Chains A and B, each alone.
Chain A
Amino acid sequence: MAYDKFSVIKSPAVPLPVENVDTDQIIPARFLKAVERKGFGENLFRDWRYNKDGSPKSDFPLNNAKYSGKILVAGKNFGSGSSREHAAWAIYDYGFRVVVSSFFADIFKNNAINNGLLPVVVTPEFLERIFETIEKNPEAEFKTNLKEQTLTNLTTGETEEFEINAYKKHCLKNGLDDIDYLVRMKDEITAFEEANS
């Protein structure tokens, strides 16, 4: 799918200091009935975000006006459980472009990158300090630089490098996806089939 090209993102961050956030929490199954990829942001973290009567839960970070920005910061093992790509769509649709954690579940990480959402893995210590920084100053900004593969805590000045393979980096920077790549490879795939039949 087409998504915005990714370069440098400088923004405050929304903290979600919870570990093992599974994709059932990110987007509960009952919201997976759409046949288009639209509007999932509304139901992002639905059951943590809203009371049963639809009123917002005031203690949930997304409902707290002091937090904003394009960066979501979460506890370790983010995105475990169901393979639903709707989880990545919901986070992107809500307006996030980067998710920071000390550990991501595999399928979520793949799904995120495939949709222009950058998962940034940092050390547990760095993550801890990001949370501290936001707690002290919710407007504190962070800078993600895809080209340099760095995340900077602009308050403390600390920077950490993150990993991303060269191919995916190229895709994100240019707003390309794997399908474009694979479709161009059809002859090679056909040759592979013939050689292995």
Chain B
Amino acid sequence: MEAKTLFDKIWDSHVVKKVEGGPNVLYIDRHLIHEVTSPVAFLGLKNRGLKVFRPEQTTATPDHNVPTENQHLSIVDELSRNQVEMLKRNCAEHGIKYHDLQSEGHGIVHIIGPEKGLTQPGMTIVCGDSHTSTHGAFGAIAFGIGTSEVEMVLASQSIMQPKPKKMRITINGELKQGVTAKDIALFIISKISTSGGTGHFIEYAGSAIKSLSMEGRMTLCNLSIESGARGGMIAPDETTFNYMKGREFVPKGKDWEQAVEKWKNLKSDEDAVFDTEYSYDAADIEPMITYGTNPGMGIGITKNIPIYNGMGESDKKTLEKALKYMEFSPGDKMLGKTIDYVFLGSCTNGRIEDFRAFTAFVKGKKKAPNVNAWLVPGSKHVEQQIKEEGLLEILEEAGFKLRQPGCSACLAMNDDKIPEGKYAVSTTNRNFEGRQGPGARTLLASPLTAAAAAITGKVTDPRELMDNEFLETDKTLEPV
């Protein structure tokens, strides 16, 4: 039999039909929806007189535009409120499970999927949000779709897609102290650029990837899309199964044992061929930070912003435009640059481990007075854990406050907008012009680097502040 990649195995088993001279009709196991990219899809269904085909395979949560304060009150912004209410109505009408803003199960769509065990190995998972790639961490094919495709899934539990090419990125070796999954991702994108993955689906492999926690794997897969790839995935293993066991929607008892046996086969055959391969040494990665206006414009935090010398004309133009927006100069050092905001949150870094890392880092220190810090848990469950584990007290002691769950300043659709011209060290996924608010300037980094900046008020190498005490508290990074 022909050797197959993990991606091939899952994709091929979900093809309902190959359209002559066209895409595949791909069956979708799990569909996640939110308030922003679904209303027009439901409207389309209505106009065609259609019902949702398999309502039990779709799950809904309002996350993109919700406020992160006073969630018990009615949403003030009329348009946002309308979208949220519309989602609720559409779900009620079509029998779709909806996680209301005040409910225990509420959170960012890509946080609650894994949390509830909706995300499982071998599945096809889609959502009208490009960071659906997060779910690939479990060995699933997960990718973002447009609203027309949301309508397709609602109408037929299938979409039409050409099969992407396959890429493998292998990272072997041991990660250095202070280097996280976020740094691996920013490192990769800085190497292959924001278009390097276009047309491909990535599989991450190698000892450094295997050593990541489940949440770290989610962070890495989450950022796959920023390299232009449709998604990223990691073969499931004991780490995956340990994380999943006992979660709400995973099989129980005997079914669980059987499922695990099946999932263990989900890996690329040894002689499987990838269209594109890259490999890197974990030891070459240091904490990363971005200096420009796309996620590929990242460097090791101790490095300087590139200079124009030796650059092609078009790269130079892109860099010039970015640096003008950021008000940085070629050759500048990133270390020591004054910042105004710190944002911890989003589906990239809004999980409990991110909060544990941030908290362990700031423990016993004080937030810099010039910094506004927004700490936004990815879900109600994460918020609960922060309180139960005593992290909130440590954070408050250090001068931080906690907000309520949602996408928040990741895309600034609600009131959480970084003001024009201000610099934010952000644990999110996009540093595009105006992404975090009109005129806002985003420096993407890990929760540790964000914590370091929150304490000093400037771009700081987190390793400089990691004393013995941190190393001891480092055990709080372990999943409970």
Contact = CB atoms under 8 A, between A and B. Distances in A.
Interface in A58-103: 75-77, 80-86, 88, 103
Interface residues on A, range: 35 or more
Contact of A111 (B77, B148, B164, B430): B148
Interface in A99-125: 103, 105-107, 110-111, 114-115
A166 B156 contact: no
Nearest to A17: B317
Interface residues on B, range: 35 or more
Most chain B CB neighbours (cut-off 10 Å) among A28, A177, A186: A28
A33 interface: yes
Contact of A166 (B16, B20, B39, B194): B20
Interface in A177-197: 177-179, 181-183, 185-186, 188-189, 192-193, 196
A29 B411 contact: yes
A129 B79 CA distance: 44
A24 B435 contact: yes
B195 A179 contact: no
A182 B45 CA distance: 13
B228 A77 contact: yes
B70 to A, nearest CB: 19
Interface stretch (A6-14, A34-42, A143-151): A34-42
20 contacts: A18-B321, A22-B432, A29-B64, A35-B39, A35-B86, A76-B195, A77-B194, A81-B430, A83-B129, A106-B230, A111-B146, A111-B148, A114-B148, A165-B162, A166-B22, A179-B148, A182-B156, A183-B155, A185-B17, A188-B17
B145 A35 contact: no
A179 B432 contact: no
B55 interface: no
Q: Give the most central of A25, A80, A167, A177: most B CB within 10 Å.
A: A80
B379 interface: no
Nearest to B200: A106
A183 B50 contact: yes
Given A77-B228, A179-B148, 5 more contacts: A34-B79, A77-B195, A81-B432, A114-B146, A114-B148
B194 A85 contact: no
A47 interface: yes
B45 to A, nearest CB: 9
B198 interface: yes
Contact of B130 (A20, A52, A83): A83
A19 interface: yes
A186 B155 CA distance: 9
Interface in B100-144: 128-130, 144
A81 B130 CA distance: 8
A182 B27 contact: no
B65 interface: yes
Contacts of B310: none
Nearest to A75: B314
B195 A183 contact: no
Interface string B23-55: 101010000000011011001100010100100
A185 B195 CA distance: 34
Given A24-B434, A35-B43, A115 B160 contact: no
B19 interface: yes
A36 B160 contact: no
Given A19-B318, A166-B20, A182-B155, A1 B432 contact: no
A168 interface: yes
A32 B77 CA distance: 13
Contacts of A114: 146, 148-149
Nearest 6 Cβ contacts at the A-B interface: A167-B22, A166-B21, A85-B146, A33-B79, A35-B39, A111-B146
A88 B146 contact: yes
A30 interface: yes
A178 B160 contact: yes
B198 A103 contact: yes
A72 B128 CA distance: 25
B294 A37 contact: no
Contacts of A77: 194-195, 198, 228
Interface string A149-186: 00000000000000001111000000001110111011
Contacts of B43: 35-37
A185 B16 contact: yes
Contacts of A192: 16, 27
Name which of A22, A30, A196 has the most chain B CB atoms within 10 A of its CB: A30
B95 interface: no
Nearest to B162: A165
Q: Which of A52, A77, A85 has the most CB of B within 10 A?
A: A85
Contacts of B44: 1, 179
Contacts of A188: 16-17, 25
